Amino acid sequence: MMETDDVTAQPQTIGVQIHAPAREFAEQHEVATITEYPGPPALEVRDLFAYYGAKLAVREVTFDARQHAVTAIIGPSGSGKSTVLRALNRMLEVVPGARIEGSVHFHGIDLYDSAIDPAAVRRTIGMVFQQPNPFPTMSIYDNVAAAARFNGVIKTRQQADDLVESCLARAALWDEVKDNLAKSGASLSGGQQQRLCIARALAVNPDVILMDEPCSALDPIATLQIEQLARELAEQYTIVIVTHNMQQAARVSDDTVFMSVDEQRAGYVVERGPTSTIFTNPTNKITEDYITGRFG
């Protein structure tokens, strides 16, 4: 598929009639309706290449993540979705031998500029991982408060109390744990642990929250809670979520980036745009086949 420098432009058609199955999918599942948000994107990714040693993992990845919107990155296993996600907050560079080319800008700031502190990037662009990972030796309270204390966000016990309650409430967990804050974070159910991890990410006041398949280890009820939470958090934060679940992407996201794999096993962007367009009227046959389950 041909790309343009303007990521808001519609992808060019490849001249095949492919729309009916996608529309059937959209009728069977709740496809998110795009909402227009003012202002420039929070993140601008341009011509991103990522390598593990000599191995090219992803190539020429270009997309925007709009402010106060949910951007889903979808695609088959091995297409580089998690690699791209980790490049957005410089988590990728902690992997020995990993490096990127291209650019990632946050509100116009080059995140890979030599003057930028990677730790500051990771505070501003938080990450929620596939497996819930609360600090097992810490209480629910300290799981939320510890990073904020370390980063100087809070200095007094009252500030800590207020922050813990606020973050747990925004993560839709406060009512469930408010009487058991001294218990270990590891004592919670899987879905509660994942919401605790989200509360922990919120505690350092990020602007962007990255979610790497946050529901893959959860049951359907917990999955629905995380999806609803992602939509609610988009009112205050920019959300980028990697998911292999097409129904989830359709339900939760405003914009979708679809990645696939080329002949050299490098991931690339096939198509990007509003979720409502990607799931009802894709312009590329590969996209159509993937979202309707014919491959992947």
Does any domain span residue 140? yes
Does any domain span residue 169? yes
Residue-wise pLDDT for 254-284, tens only, equals 999 999 999 999 999 999 999 999 999 999 9
Name the nearest CA neighbour of 211 among 178, 245, 164, 262: 245
The confidence score (pLDDT) of residue 7 equals 38
- Provide the number of structural domains found in the chain: 1
Does any domain span residue 230? yes
Does any domain span residue 32? no
pTM exceeds 0.75 for this model? yes
Residue-wise pLDDT for 55-106, tens only, equals 999 999 999 999 999 999 999 999 999 999 999 999 999 999 999 999 999 9
Residue 264 in tokens:
């050299």
Q: Label residue 24 by pLDDT band (50, 70, 90).
A: low
Does any domain span residue 36? no
Give the residue, 122 or 6, on which the prediction is more confident: 122
Strand order in the sheet with 70-74: 109-110, 98-106, 43-52, 55-65, 267-274, 255-261, 70-74, 238-242, 208-212, 125-128
Does any domain span residue 9? no
Percentage of residues of the chain with pLDDT beyond 70: 86
Does any domain span residue 113? yes
Which domain, by its residues, includes 173? 42-291
Residue-wise pLDDT for 219-242, tens only, equals 999 999 999 999 999 999 999 999
Lowest-confidence range among 34-48, 120-134, 210-224? 34-48
CATH number of the domain that 245 lies in?
A: 3.40.50.300
Does any domain span residue 258? yes
